Amino acid sequence: MIFKPKHTKDKRDKSKNSLDWKEKNKKYLNQLQKFLDSTDCIEKEEQRNNIIAQMLKCDQILTQIAQSEIQKHKQKMNNE
């Protein structure tokens, strides 16, 4: 099962470009796959889906923090 955030078309296009750094990172993708594989052993589908959804919420928050820090760094570099 794949969970994808709901975005409008404009936000999705902008978000896709800004998430390339994350989606192309092989270490990140490997660890994400290991997590999802480990949830396969959870027999109760509702519980499995809740765990995956919660992890993806945490991942989204961490991604937003990282993007904010990247933006701050870019602004700092432009001001120097």
Output DSSP code: residue 76: H
pLDDT (tens place) for every residue of the chain, 80 residues total: 555 555 555 555 555 557 888 889 999 999 999 999 999 999 999 999 999 999 999 999 999 999 999 999 999 889 88
Q: Which pLDDT score is estimated for 80?
A: 80
Domain definitions of the chain by residue range: 27-79
Q: Which pLDDT score is estimated for 50?
A: 97
Amino acid at residue number 46: E
d(CA 77, CA 60): 26
Contact (CB, 8 A) for 20 and 28: no
d(CA 39, CA 6): 23
Contact (CB, 8 A) for 52 and 3: yes
**Whether the predicted model's global pTM rises above the 0.75 cut:** no
